[in-house]
Structure 1
Amino acid sequence: MSLFWRIFAFNAVVLGAATALLLWAPVTVSVPVLLTEAVILVSGLVVMLIANAALLRIGLGPLDRLTRMMTTVDLLRPGHRLPEHGRGGIPELIRTFNAMLERLELERAASSARALLAQEAERRRIAQELHDEVGQSMTAILLGLKRAADEADGPLRGELRQAQEITRASLDEVRRLVRRLRPGVLEDLGLVSALTSLTTEFATHTGLRVVRRFDPGLPVLDQETELVLYRVAQEALTNAARHADADRVEVTLRHTDGTVVLAVTDDGSGTGMAREGAGIRGMRERALLIGAALDVTSGPRAGTRVRLSTPVSRKQS
């Protein structure tokens, strides 16, 4: 029986019982109303209201849970489903909602994958252009400044030397941007070497102390998984430098029970509750690409920890 007919039937029973009492029970209503008659009428009304409230609470309880989940569902945290409890049409409604959630999660994962792959392709293109065009042009300018400085006299030589140093610093910055956009170390030497290079450059650039703890004998991961781990570490380090007010950052990479776990922990001020900014949501989208779980914890004066756990398939290992 659907929820509508259940409520209608119960109300019909209650109203029918009240009508029967008025027709056949030795109960009358005087004018003016006597106290006993008023007590009986009020008691009957209270019973009817309580019975209707109980039925509506029981019948509409699953709808309340469904409404709360609709307002709190996050497609970047997949897997949340409502139990298919209730009677009438409630279980069918919950099944439909759960199926809709599953479709939305699959579509979100597919669209995120396309967007992130396009983003990586664009990063590679920009990095290639910076390396081939800007880098080579600045190298040519640097060589020209060197020749001019060698042939110049007096104050002009000093100015040319200064321009040469500025150009060299700019060229180093371009090369650093190229490495961030396209981690060639990751493609050539693997994840551990890429993370080592990333943390070394991060410590040099920011002045923070970085501690690395990498398990030996890590399993071989596919290229997509390694790229996600690298990008999550990169984003977590960037957040630590920008927002954490930290002095020390620890980067760990462990393999346990068929799972590779990356953790980036700082000793900064923390926020009490991790803010879901664009950086964290971007990390969650990357985690979805490889079926990984991302956990971000932060407490006041307790620092922030970003933890990514990805299962290792037999094919990978």
Structure 2
Amino acid sequence: MALFWRIFGLNAVVLGGATSLLLWAPVTVSAPVVLTEAIVLVGGLVVMLVANAVLLRVGLAPLERVTRRMATVDLLRPGQRVSVAGHGGVPDLVRAFNDMLGRLEHERATSSARALYAQESERRRIAQELHDEVGQSMTAVLLELKRAADHAHDPDLRTDLQHAQETTRASLDEVRRLARRLRPGVLEDLGLVSALTTLTTDLSTHTGLAVHRRFEADLPKLDQQTELVLYRVAQESLTNVARHADATEVGVHLYRDGDRIQLLICDDGRGFGLANEGAGLRGMRERALLIGAALELEAAPGGGVQVGLSVPLQGDGG
């Protein structure tokens, strides 16, 4: 029964009973009102108010749950729904709200997939241009500097040219490193473990962080999108550690746990982003949603932050 008809019916019963009592019962209202009459009238009013309050509390409770959920819902954490039972106006409204959340989650996942695909395409294009255009130009400059240094007769000029040569070589190495970060060719050529090994080696080389790797042997074969999500989550997590955590050590673990692949990245720093997630962390959640994975951030046992990505295996896990 709809909430309107329940409230109307209850009021009708109470008012009808009061009317019947006044019509057929030997009850009158004196002027002035005597004590017993006042007790009967006040008692009837209290019963009606209590009954209405109870019915409204029970009937409107789902709306309060919807209000609380609306204030806390996060489309990057799908599956948040309001429990509902029965039929009628309010339960149907709650079901409509749950259906709306489902549609929004689907639309968010679809739009995120398109945006991330475009992002990866643009990264691939920029990496290709860095490698083909900028890299080749800097290589040509490096050869010209070497040729000029070899033919220079002035020792001071030769020294300056050699310094410029070293600077150009270092810049060329940096361009190549940026190109690898934008487009992890080793991921496509040699697989996830080799790509993560290269990523952590570069991190240790450029930041001085002690990196502890533990990659389980004989991991099941994963599809290209899943490997890319795992790689990008590891990359973003390690970038956060290097920039914000003030850590000295970081551990990167990749292993199989039943029907899931687990990626754990744990540092000993001061933590980052646990209270207010930045764009990087929300980007990791969006990537995780693409493959139905769960991303969790929590305080690490020895301080710092632990980032965990749990990826379900498709079918028999390869």
TM-score bucket of the superposed structures, by smaller chain: over 0.9
TM value normalised by structure 2: 0.92
Counterpart of 1:120 in structure 2 is 120
Partner of 1:198: 199
- Aligned 8 A contact 2:266 2:300 in 1: no
Aligned equivalents of 1:179 and 1:261: distance in 2?
Answer: 24
Aligned residue in 1 for 2:70:
70
- Separation of aligned partners in 2, 1:214 and 1:225: 16
Aligned CA distance change for structure 1 residues 191 and 256 (closer, same or farther; 3 Å):
same
**When the two structures are aligned, how many residues end up with a matched partner?**
317
Corresponding residue for residue 10 of structure 1: 10
Tell me by how many angstroms 1:300 deviates: 10
- Structure 1 residue aligned with 2:265: 264
Query: SS at 1:180's partner residue?
Result: helix
2:177 is aligned to: 176
**Gaps spanning 5+ residues in structure 2: where?**
none
Check the 8 A contact 2:244/2:272 in 1, yes or no.
Answer: no
Pairwise CA distance, 1:71: 2.2
Other structure's SS at 1:294 match: strand
Alignment-derived partner of residue 154 in structure 1: 155
- Counterpart CA distance in 1 for 2:24 and 2:209 is 89
The separation in 1 between residues aligned to 2:301 and 2:212, in whole angstroms, is 22
* d(CA) in 1 for partners of 2:277, 2:54: 40
Deviates more, 1:143-152 or 1:171-180: 143-152
Note the residue ranges of structure 1 that are not aligned, 5 or more in a row: none
Q: CA RMSD in A?
A: 2.1
Q: Which residue does 1:285 correspond to in 2?
A: 286
| Shift in CA distance, 257/38, structure 1 to aligned 2, threshold 3 Å | same
The 8 Å contact of residues 272 and 298 in structure 1, kept in 2 or not, is answered as: no
8 Å contact 1:269–1:301 — kept in the other structure?
no
Structure 1 SS opposite 2:133: helix
CA distance in 2, matches of 1:21, 1:55: 24
1:55 equivalent to 2:84? Answer no
**Match of 2:102?**
102
* Cα displacement (A) at 1:13: 1.7
- Please state whether the residue corresponding to 1:137 is helix, strand or coil: helix
- Distance, in Å, in 2 between the alignment partners of 1:300 and 1:57 is 44
Q: Distance in 2 between matches of 1:183 and 1:285?
A: 20
Q: Summarize deviations over 1:26-59 as a string: whole Å, max 9, x none.
A: 5544555555544444333322221111000111
Percent of aligned pairs sharing the same letter: 70
Q: Distance in 2 between matches of 1:243 and 1:21?
A: 76
Q: 2: distance between equivalents of 1:273 and 1:132?
A: 40
| Shift in alpha-carbon separation, 1:32–1:300, aligned structure 2, 3 A | farther
Per the alignment, residue 308 of structure 1 pairs with 309
